[in-house]
Amino acid sequence: MSARDDDLLAAVEAATGALAAGRARAASSMCYLGVRHETYPADLISDTRLTDSAKIQYLFLAREAARSGAGAVALPSVEETASCLGQSMRTAQRDRLLLRIARWITLARRVRDRAGRWRGTVCVVHDTPAELRTTVRLDGGYMRQLEKTAGHGDPIARQAARSVLREIEQAIAEGRDPMEREDPADRLAEMLCTNHAKGGVHSVDSARGGDPAADPPRTGGGEAAGEPPANSAHGGDDPCANFAHGRHVVEITGNSQDPGGSGPPCANFAHGECSSSKNTTTTTSTVAESSEAGRPRRRELPPDLRWPEALDDNMRRLIRRVLEMHAPPGMAQALLDALGQKLRDRDHPVRSPVNYVYGLCVRAREGRFVPPAPPDREADDGEDRRRDAAVAALRAEIAGLERLLEGAEGEARQALAGQLEALRRRLAERT
C-alpha cells in the first residue's frame, strides 16, 4: 500500500468520524485529494465515457471541494448541482453515476452513527481517474454497481458500465490482474494515440438527461440505434459544451442560438494554443469499445459456491470472472478452497488474490493442481471467535476515546485524536 493510499484512507476516516459523531454540517461529505489547480485535468477531456454535462459537473464538484483546504466539505446534492449548472434533475443524477463509474469520484463510505442511524456518505474527488485497486478498496459496492448499471435503462450509463467491465474482463482474459498499478506513461501514450486518431480533438456530446431507472425520452429518428440523442441543438434543456484546443480554460457565454440569453448557458473548454467562442459545433457521442475476439468463453459457475470469508464483495466478483474464464469444469470450489487456505497463511500473505486464482487455474488446466485437504472447521471457528473478540475490544476502546475527546482541549485533544485515528485504521484492517 502506497503512502498516497495511506493519506487517502486517513482523510476518508477523518471525514467518516466527523460524520458519525454528528460534527459535520451536512448529511454527505467529500474530500479533494488531488493537486489543487484552477485548470482542468487533461484526462477529463479525453474520457469517452463521460458526457459533456458530466465533465461540467466534475469541474463543479472539484471547485466546491477545493475550497475546503485539506478538509472535507458538504457534497452538493443532486438538486443543488442541477440548479447551479442549469441542468435537469435526471441529467445531474445520471452524470454523477457516470463520474462514479469512470472513477473520477469514489463513494468511499456510507456512514451510520453508533445507534445505527443513517448519517450520510463520504465521497472522494480525484484529479485523475482512480486506479481500480484504489476504488475497490474504498468503494465496497463498486463492482456490484457496475454490473447493475450494465443493464441500466439509460443507454449512456449502460454503455459506460459495459465499457469498464470489458476492460476488466479483457485484462482477466489475458491473465493480467485488472488491479495492477497503471503506468502513467502508458496512460499518456494511450491518450495521445486516441487524440491523434480523432484528428486532435476528442470530445463527447452531452445528452438529454435520463432517469437512472428508465430510458430517457428519445427525439426523432436521426440518432443511430442504441445511441442517445444529442443535446447541443437549439431547444435542449441542459447546457451545451464545445471542447476545442486553445490556451484559455473556461469561457461561459449565453446560448449563441438564443440571442435573448434565455436559453441554458454554454461552456467552451479549450486546451492548447487558441480557442473558439462559437457554440455551433455539434459533436457525436462515443463510447470506448473493445473486441470480443480471442476472449475465453465464460462458463457458468455453480450457484452454491463457498467463498472465503476474507474476500469482500468486489474481490468475489472479480475472482468469479477469473473462474468463469479460466477454471476447468467442476474445479471452481476446489480452487476457492485452496485460495481460502492461502489467505490464512500470515507468514506468506497473498498480494493479489486475482493473480493467485489465475495461477491455480493454469495449474489445474495443466494437471498440476493438488486439491487442498478439507478445511479444519474447528480451527476456523476458533479463529473467527478470536477475530470477533479483537474487533469488539477495538470498538470499545474507540468509543471510550470518542467520549474523552468530546471534553478534551489543546494538546490533549490532538493526542487523543491521533490515538483515535490509529485505532480506526486498525479496525478498518480487521473488518
User: Torsion over CA of 249, 251, 255 and 257, rounded to 10 degrees?
Assistant: -70
Q: Grid coordinates 443532486 are at which residue?
A: 78
pLDDT per position as a tens digit, 8-55:
788 788 888 877 877 766 667 777 666 665 677 888 988 999 999 999
The answer to whether residue 154 is domain-embedded is no
Give the whole-number percent of the chain exceeding pLDDT 70: 66
pLDDT in the model for residue 192? 59
The answer to whether residue 217 is domain-embedded is no
The answer to whether residue 61 is domain-embedded is yes
Residue 290 pLDDT > 60: no
Residue 258 pLDDT > 60: no
How many angstroms separate the Cα of 324 from the Cα of each of 159, 249, 296, 358? Answer: 22, 46, 9, 11
pLDDT in the model for residue 377? 54
The mean of the pLDDT values for the chain is: 74
Kindly state the average pLDDT of the residues 188-195: 58
Containing structural domain, residue 364: 296-375
The answer to whether residue 174 is domain-embedded is no
Point out the domain boundary residue: 331, 353, 375.
Answer: 375
Classified as helix, coil or strand, 222 is: coil
Tallying the residues shown for the chain, one arrives at 431
Residue 161 pLDDT > 60: yes
Residue 116 pLDDT > 90: no
Say if CB 111 and CB 120 are below 8 A apart: yes
Say if CB 43 and CB 182 are below 8 A apart: no
Say if CB 268 and CB 249 are below 8 A apart: no
User: What is the number of domains present in the chain?
Assistant: 3
The answer to whether residue 26 is domain-embedded is yes
